[in-house]
Chains A and B, each alone.
Chain A
Amino acid sequence: MKKSILEFWVGLFVLLGLGALGVLAFQVAGGKDFSGSTPSYTVYADFSDIGGLKPNAPVRVSGVLVGRVASIELDPKTYQARVALNINQQYTFSNDVSASILTSGLLGEQYIGLQQGGDPDDLAAGGTITITSSAMVLENLIGKFMTNFTGSKDNKTATEEKTE
C-alpha cells in the first residue's frame, strides 16, 4: 500500500473517533462536569428527612441549576441529615436563604430548591442554611390525610386513634 494513503486513512479514523468523543462530551453530556468545571463553594443544610435525595442531585433556584449535592451524612449529635451543597462561584445567597427538598414531576428525581432571603449579609463558604423544609414523604402525607379525614367525620374515633 502506498505510504501516504495508509496515513490518510488512519488519520481520518483517529479524527472520526475523536470527533465522536467530542459529540459525546458536548452534545450528549452537554459539556457538563468537564474537567476544569466552574469553580464552586460548599455550604451545608440540615434536614430532618431527606426522603430519596441522592448525591449529585441538582440544586436549583427558580428552576435554574446553580449547583449539586456533594455528600449526605448523618450528624451523630442531632441525628439530622447534613447535606453538603456545591454552589457555583458566580452565585451568592443571603444569610437567611431557605432550602427545601422538592420533587420534579410525579415520578421525577428529587432536588434541592433554594429561595433567596432578605438578609443583606451573604452566606459564606462553609456556612449552614438554617431554614430548611424536609422532603415530603408519601406515607406521612397519607397518614395526616387519614387522621384529618376521620377527624372531620367523627371526632371521637380520631382522638382514639391518636391516643393509641
Chain B
Amino acid sequence: MNFIQNIGAKTLAFIQTLGANVLFLIKICCLLPQTLLRPRLTLRQMYFSGVLSVLIIAVSGLFVGMVLGLQGYTQLAKFKSADVLGFMVAASLLRELGPVLAAILFASSAGGAMTSEIGLMKTTEQLEAMNVMAVNPVARVVAPRFWAGVLSMPLLANIFNVAGIYGGYLVGVEWLGLDAGVYWSHMQNNMTWSYDVANGLIKSLCFGMAVALIAVYQGFHCVPTAEGILRASTRTVVSSALTVLALDFILTAFMFVN
C-alpha cells in the first residue's frame, strides 16, 4: 500500500515541479527587457558557462569522433562499405550525439556550477539582501545565467560537432587509410543544411533552455544549507541528463521520422 502511495506522491511532486519550472521560465522571460538593459551581466555569465566549457567540449568531441571513426571503420569494412564512414560520423554527430552529449557535458560542468553559485548566494542571504535593496534577484542573478546558457549551448554543440568530425577524419583517414576525398564527398552528398545542420541547432537550443532552466531553478529553490546546495547541484545534473535524453527522443520523433 505504501508503495502505491509513494508512486502517487512522486507523480504529484513531478507535475508540481514541472509547473513551477514553467512558471519560473515565464518569470525569466517577462524580465527580458531588464536583462537586455544590462547586457554585461549576461556577457559575464557567458564567459563562465560558455568560454570555460569550450576545452572540455572540444576534447570530448574529438574523442567521441575518434571512437566513431574506429568502430565505424572496423564494422563497415566487414560489409565492404567503409566509404560511408564520413557520412556515418557526421550524421550521428550532427543529429544525435553532438547536441545530446554537449548538453550533458554542459549540465555537469556549467549547470552544476550555476546551481551551487546561486544556492550559495541564497544560503549567505545575498538574495534576501538584494530584495531588501529593491533589486529583483531573478533579474539580477537568475536571468543572465539562464540566457547565457541558452546562447552558449548551440555554439558549444557546433564546436563539439566539428571536433568530432575531425576526430573521425583523424582515425578513419590518417590512421586507417580511408581516402580523404571519399570521407568528405559522401558526407557532403548526404548531409543537408536544412535537414541535418538546422535541426541539430534547434535541438541544441532546446537543450540549452532546458539545462539552464533546471540549473537556475534548482539553485534558486534549494534548501539554504550546505547539504541543500549539494543535493540541488546533484539534482541539476541528474534531471538535466534525463530531461535532455527524453527531449531528444521527442524532438527526433518530430524532426527525423518521415
Residues of A within 8 A of B (CB): 1, 6-7, 9-10, 12-14, 16-18, 20-21, 23-25, 27-35, 54-56, 107
The answer to whether A28 and B47 touch across the interface, beta carbons within 8 angstroms, is: no
Q: How distant is the Cα of A9 from the Cα of B47 in the complex, in angstroms?
A: 7
Is B6 an interface residue when CB atoms closer than 8 A count as contact?
A: no
Chain A minimum-CB-distance residue to B86: A28
B148 CB to closest chain A CB, in angstroms?
A: 9
Q: How distant is the Cα of A163 from the Cα of B158 in the complex, in angstroms?
A: 63
Q: How distant is the Cα of A24 from the Cα of B201 in the complex, in angstroms?
A: 11
The answer to whether A17 and B51 touch across the interface, beta carbons within 8 angstroms, is: no
Q: How distant is the Cα of A113 from the Cα of B154 in the complex, in angstroms?
A: 39
Is B117 an interface residue when CB atoms closer than 8 A count as contact?
A: no
28 pairs from A and B in contact (CB 8 Å cutoff) = A6-B43, A9-B47, A9-B51, A10-B46, A13-B47, A13-B50, A13-B51, A13-B54, A13-B152, A16-B54, A17-B156, A17-B158, A18-B158, A20-B158, A24-B94, A24-B197, A25-B193, A25-B197, A28-B94, A28-B187, A29-B188, A30-B187, A30-B191, A31-B193, A32-B188, A35-B194, A56-B195, A107-B81
Is B104 an interface residue when CB atoms closer than 8 A count as contact?
A: no
Residues of chain B from 121 to 139 with CB closer than 8 A to chain A in the complex: none
Question: In the assembled complex, which residues on chain B have CB atoms less than 8 Å from the CB atom of A27?
Answer: 184, 188
Chain A minimum-CB-distance residue to B42: A10
Chain A minimum-CB-distance residue to B184: A27
Q: How distant is the Cα of A24 from the Cα of B81 in the complex, in angstroms?
A: 24
The 7 closest A-B pairs by CB, nearest first: A17-B155, A30-B188, A20-B158, A33-B192, A20-B162, A29-B191, A13-B51
Q: How distant is the Cα of A32 from the Cα of B165 in the complex, in angstroms?
A: 18
Question: In the assembled complex, which residues on chain B have CB atoms less than 8 Å from the CB atom of A20?
Answer: 155, 158-159, 161-162
What's the tally of chain B residues with a CB closer than 8 Å to chain A?
32
A110 CB to closest chain B CB, in angstroms?
A: 14
A26 CB to closest chain B CB, in angstroms?
A: 9
Chain B minimum-CB-distance residue to A17: B155
Question: In the assembled complex, which residues on chain B have CB atoms less than 8 Å from the CB atom of A29?
Answer: 188, 191-193, 196-197
Q: How distant is the Cα of A6 from the Cα of B187 in the complex, in angstroms?
A: 37
Q: Given A27-B184, A29-B191, A29-B192, are A6 and B44 also a contact pair (CB < 8 Å)? A: yes
Contact with A along B179-217 (1 / 0, CB 8 A): 000001001110111111100010000000000000000
A11 CB to closest chain B CB, in angstroms?
A: 9
Question: In the assembled complex, which residues on chain B have CB atoms less than 8 Å from the CB atom of A10?
Answer: 43, 46-47, 50-51
Question: In the assembled complex, which residues on chain B have CB atoms less than 8 Å from the CB atom of A30?
Answer: 187-189, 191
B81 CB to closest chain A CB, in angstroms?
A: 7
B72 CB to closest chain A CB, in angstroms?
A: 16
Q: How distant is the Cα of A1 from the Cα of B161 in the complex, in angstroms?
A: 31
B93 CB to closest chain A CB, in angstroms?
A: 9
